[in-house]
Structure formats: C-alpha cells, structure tokens
Structure 1
Amino acid sequence: MEQILVIGAGLAGLSCAKSLQKAGHSVLIVEKSRGVGGRVATKRLYNTCVDQGLPALEPQGECTDQLLADLMSARSLQLWTDITHQWQENYSLLPRSMGKQYSLPDGVNAIAKHLAQDLKILRQQRVEQIHYAHDNWEITCQMAEGELTQYQGKALVLAVPAPQAIPLVAPLKLPSLLTPLESIEFDPCISLMVGYTPTPQWEALPWQILTLPQSTTLQKIFYDSRKRSHPEQVVFVLHSHPDFARHYIDSDNLETVARTLLRAAQETLDLPFDSPQWQQIHRWRYARPSNNLGSAYLSTAEPLPLICCGDWCLGNSAEAALLSGYGAAQWLNTRPQLD
C-alpha cells in the first residue's frame, strides 16, 4: 500500500508527487492517459513532433524559473520567441513584446518527463470512484483492458481539472470541497495540427505566435516547426476560439471542424492553409480555467487528508499549476496522519 495516492500526472500532480517523495513519503500517481503532462502535450506524428497543448514554457515566477534552470542544465532548452504578433483588421501585423518563450527540440512534453523522473506512475488507469474504507482512502480504477483494480493510501491528491474532480468528490458528501469545485469554470479549445511542404511563402512569415483578436473561430496560430532543429516540413498548430470550441467540442464530424478552422485561417490571412499534407485534431475540454479558486489548493483533513490542486486554484499558467502542486505537498507534509 502506498502512503499517498495522486490522481493526475499533469504539472500540478507531478510537482506535488515530486515534493512529497523528496520529503520521504511513498507516492503512487495514477494517470488515465498513456503519457504524462496533461496539457503539456507533444504528439509524435509524420516524422516530427508537435506541441498540441502548451506551446512553450515561460518564466512566470519562482517555480518556472527553477524549472527552466533545471531544464537548461539537463537538456537543450532554447529560446523560441519573446514577441507575439497580433493580426489587425487592416491586414497588418502588430508586434508585441511578451515573456520569453522557451521550447525543447523534442517537444514541450519533455518538461513533464523531466518532472516524472523516478516517480512511480501507473498509466492508462481511469479513476472511477474514491471512498473511505478501513481507515484508508481507496480508489477504484478501470484499466485499459477494462478490468477494475483498487489502490489504498492514507492521503489522496486530486490533481485534475475541477470539473473532473466533482463526480469523484460528490459521493463523499463534503460540501467544503464540492461547493468550491462547482464554482470553477473552464474554457475549451480545439487544437488543429497541420503540416505543409516548405515554400518561400511559408518561410517568409515573420511571426512565431499570431493572435487573432477579431476572429470568433481562431484565437492563436503557432509556427510550431520553428522550434525544431532543421525541420523538413512546415508545421502550424491552430487553437480555436473558446466559443467555437464550445459549439463543436462534441461534434461527431471532426473533419468538418478542421476544414472550418483552416478556411478561417486562409480567408483571414490570405495564406494557403486549406491544403495541408496532413492534419490531426484534438479536443481540449478543459483547456484553460476562466476563473480560479484564489488559493493554492482545496483540502480537508477529515476523515483523512484529501486535497485538490491544479492551475485552476491560482490561474491559467504553468506557474499556477506548479505553485498549487508544491502547496498541496507542503500541506500534506504537516498532516499528523502521515508522520
């Protein structure tokens, strides 16, 4: 039996588990996906890698500064850009300074893999239920093969988006947790990855990050292949506007959704986005918290320590996720039940 169970291997769950393990606790992470990182996600496809969620890591405070320092000593972290361009109604580009955006040639998911080193993580196990039994938290998971398995611990960390925590917490009848969880809302995003043959027209583009404030279809376009060493193709990642994603998030026809996004990019920018060599689409139902808890975590000590953490506790940023994870670990380290 593990002493502490962590549900979710995003930045908050990994940073929490890392800190707890460093303090001497036995920790087990249970993750529903095949990989780690949550929205810090990189796809390997068509002989390249593409960042389909978080595009880069930005220094936003003490936690991200330390993570960047660790990555710089361990990997070939590189500056991608410190400028975003905004598309204007008069078909011009307005450059704006922003925080330095750092990328990794093998994808932003390398950040999560770095945090996951030496942690015990069970992948492709979806948590179906949590309950208190025999003086332990017990979680029931469905494995990829459909079989059910259970794990027990003296403390439980829910490092998942608040809407995903609600159905797990609701049966416990803990209003001190459930009511704040129900107050958190998320904006969805549809992410479209597309690849093209290099042409002078693509290579002449002056931007790495383009925002489209007038569009109700597209929010941002990222020139993803400019993060790679010697790219053989031109790759973009298109992020939809939240309202567009809300309308199409449950669509059965993702091919039509992709065409709509590409048509919007082509008509707005007058660039040949409509004929990619390849494309792949991903739905982020909980892409960005649109409000936040206002504190680093949400917790109860009864009947045993249970704590919820994530970027939604403090805001929409990697710094918020890391701060929340570390804060949750600090709270658990003070629990007498874990001495």
Structure 2
Amino acid sequence: MNSIIFDVAVIGAGVSGLTCAQQFKKAGYSVIILDKSRGVGGRMATRRLSGTRADHGVRYLEAKGEQLQQLIEQLKTCEPLENQLQLWTNTVYEFKDNKLQIPAISQPYYIIPSGMSTVGKFLAQGLNIRLNSRVNALTITPEKTWQCHIESINSNAIESSIIAKFVVIAIPAPQVLMLLEASNIAIESNFIASIKSVEYDPCITVIAGYSIDKSQALPKWRAVSFSDDKILDWVGVDSSKRLNPTQPVFVIQSNRNFAEQYLEETDLTLAGEQLIHQAANTLLPELKTPDWLQIHRWRYGFCRKPLSVSCLTTLTPLPLVCAGDWCGGNQIEGALKSGIEATNWLQTQTSVLKNP
C-alpha cells in the first residue's frame, strides 16, 4: 500500500482530467492521475499500424471556444514540426440528398501530423500519471481521506491503492456510475440521478489502408460528413494529415443507430465490411477493396445529452467532483472548461486541501 497521501487523485487521463491535473500542479498541489489505458488523451486517440498512423477518435480541432482557441495557439508552436498543429482544410463536405455538397460556411480544421494523440501528450507534460491502472472502487479511510483501489492491468505493478484528500473523476458518466456503485459508499441521490441522466452516442471506426495506384487520384475532399445516411457519419482521408504518407489511408465512422447494433458484438468484422461497402457505394468505388483494415468501437463516442453544469460536485460523504465533456457539453471546449472548473471548485475546499 502506498503511504504517500496525495492532495488530489484524478481518475481518467482524457482532456478534462489532464487539464484539471495541470491546474493543480501549477498551484502547487500534489496530484496523481490514474487511467486504465496504455496512453493518455482518451478519445484524442491515434493508432499505429501497417507502418503508418491514423486518428480513430477525435478527427480534428476547431477554433470554437476560448479554452480551445488558447490550446490551438499553444500547439501551433510545439516542436518538432511533426508535433505542431497545422491547418488541414477549410471545408468538410456534406453528403445529403444523395449528393456531395460544399457547406455554406467554411472554417479552419486543424490536425497534427504525428496524430491527435499528441494533444493528450502535450497536456500530460510534467504530470505524475499511472497508466494501466483501473480504479475499481473508492473507500473512505478512518482519517477521512479517499482510497482508490486499483486493479492493475500490468501484472508487474506492486501498489494496489492510492490515498488522496480529494478525488476528481474524469471518465464518461456511465463509467462513473459503475465505479460509484462498486464502491458502496453513501452518495446523495441527486448526484447519482444527474449522472444517470447523461446519454451517449456510440460510434464504430474503421481504419482502412489501400495500395498506391498513381492512375487513381485521391478525391478532392479531405473529409465528408453525413446527416441522413443509414449507417455513415463521417469519412476522412486520414493519410492527408501526414507529412510523408506512404499509402492512402481512410477513416470511416458510423452513426449512432448503426453502432448500437454492434455494442455487444465481440467480432466487428461484419460491421467494418458494411461501413467500407457503404462508403464505396456512396463516395468512392475504390474504397471497396482495402489492403488492410482495423475496427474500433467507441461505446461512449459522443455525449448526446450532457448536464448543464461545468462540473458535478458533492460534499457527501466527502468532497467529490466529476468532470468531462458530459458536464456542460460542447465537446473538447467543454472538457477543457470542465477540468478548470473542477479545479476551481476543489480549491474552495481549503479547510482540507492545502499546499504542501
């Protein structure tokens, strides 16, 4: 058991959790992040495969909102060049009424050649982060502190728990609910009811690579969104994000209705084939025969019904705060703001939380 008592334990190394932890670190508090994944960033995810990489979560950044604009400006000056935020396109085409259309309003869409996961790595700089560490329960110690019980995904890990004065839970709302129910602690009913009210849209993502054929030019578009397709939501030429692409790579993402059919399926091969087939029939016939493909399921892809507050708080039985894009909504901007607001709220609890 770890004898160190941290000021704050943050559960979740997504955008909101990383932002919250950075705020605490800058203020001089001891903070640790616990996350079940192998890397940071949450849905800001990039997969390495077949000698290349592809963004299978967040597609790009848009300069919407004060916090996101600030992050974009910081990322524009990162070194090296591969890690710098760059303009990808000013136009995401729309496919509706059975035809490809240019939207009435254009805006800049930014990407990072090294992958969108670089954003998470940027936000994680200098933080104490323990990956492959699933928090499966919370308990309260006799000293009135939180104890995070860790199920280690890495069998070589020694410590099985972390003690902290305060806890921030920055994971999707359904996972928060599962954690609190497993903890068997007395949480006020309104707090639980708020978490239960949050709803998500799932998404299935296909990454597909193709042979280089100079007789077949890539499409003029970088990305296409769908509003009325029976299974498609978005198709992007992911290889156009890379500095020196070795082959055409496309990312195809499903809509909610299609993804819900495969939420409990262990084999997503059929789902991937259907998405590839639909994209080929709708946009580009050459997409029908990829050299390779990988499929990923996002059970909590997009928050459809967020809370109206920027963070969810309770003082019973001890101060506890939840953060994420499901608090306040507005996707990445909301996640950034939620992390900051969670920090601000906990810092008001100064009777317990003090600088080291």
Q: Which of the five TM-score ranges fits, normalised by the shorter chain?
A: over 0.9
- Deviations, residues 194-219 of structure 1 (Å, cap 9, x unaligned): 11123357634111110122212111
Partner SS state of residue 99, structure 1: coil
- Deviations, residues 229-254 of structure 1 (Å, cap 9, x unaligned): 12111111111010000011221221
Structure 2 partner of 1:310 = 324
Map of 1:81-230 to 2, 5 A cutoff?
Answer: 81-134=89-142, 135-145=144-154, 149-170=160-181, 171-174=184-187, 175-200=189-214, 203-230=217-244
Partner SS state of residue 337, structure 2: helix
Structure 1 partner of 2:271 = 257
What is the CA distance between 1:225 and its match in structure 2? 0.8
Identify if the C-alpha distance between structure 1 residues 72 and 212 changes in structure 2 by more than 3 Å, giving closer, same or farther.
same
Identify if the C-alpha distance between structure 1 residues 201 and 314 changes in structure 2 by more than 3 Å, giving closer, same or farther.
farther
Q: TM-score, normalised by structure 2?
A: 0.91
Aligned residues of 2:170 and 2:322 also touching (Cα < 8 A): yes
What is the CA distance between 1:223 and its match in structure 2? 1.1
Question: In 2, distance between residues paired with 1:180 and 1:88?
Answer: 36
Aligned residues of 2:91 and 2:102 also touching (Cα < 8 A): no
Higher helix residue share: 1
- Does 2:43 match 1:29? no
Q: TM-score, normalised by structure 1?
A: 0.96
The alignment covers a number of residue pairs equal to 339
What is the CA distance between 1:173 and its match in structure 2? 2.8
- Deviations, residues 233-286 of structure 1 (Å, cap 9, x unaligned): 111111101000001122122111111111111122242222111111101000
Question: In 2, distance between residues paired with 1:226 and 1:137?
Answer: 46
Question: In 2, distance between residues paired with 1:96 and 1:54?
Answer: 23
Identify if the C-alpha distance between structure 1 residues 92 and 73 changes in structure 2 by more than 3 Å, giving closer, same or farther.
closer
Question: In 2, distance between residues paired with 1:92 and 1:132?
Answer: 57
Aligned residues of 2:21 and 2:127 also touching (Cα < 8 A): yes
Structure 2 partner of 1:334 = 348
What is the CA distance between 1:66 and its match in structure 2? 1.1
Identify if the C-alpha distance between structure 1 residues 227 and 270 changes in structure 2 by more than 3 Å, giving closer, same or farther.
closer
Contiguous gaps of at least 5 residues in structure 2 = none
Instruction: Give 1:278's match in structure 2, choosing from 287, 292, 311.
Output: 292
What is the CA distance between 1:331 and its match in structure 2? 0.8
